[in-house]
Amino acid sequence: MAELSRISPAFRELWARHDVFNRPEGWKSIRHPLVGELTLDFFLLQAVDSEHLRLLIYSPRSNSGTAKKIERLLAFEE
C-alpha cells in the first residue's frame, strides 16, 4: 500500500477515506464436472456509500491443488 500511496495521489486519497466495510471472508468448496473439487478463498468488499457496489474476490486456496485445476480449465478454452 505504501508504494501505491506514494505514486498515486488518487489511490492515496481513496485509501485514506476507508470507504469499505463489512469484509466477510472465508472459503468455499465447489465441484466442477471436469476437474472435480475446487477450494477457493473469498473476500467481499462493499463500498460504504452504496449498498449495491460490491467486489467479490475468489482465489485458489493455498496447497489445495485448485490452482492447477484452474490452469487445466483455462487450457480447455484454447
Secondary structure letter of residue 65 according to DSSP: S
How distant, in Å, are the alpha carbons of 1, 25, 29, 35 from that of 47?
18, 16, 26, 35
Phi, psi values for residue 45, rounded to 5°: -115, 140
Calculate mean pLDDT across residues 19-23: 59
Q: How far apart are CA 57 and CA 41, in angstroms?
A: 8
Looking at residue 22, its pLDDT comes to 55
- Mean pLDDT (whole number) for 11-20: 78
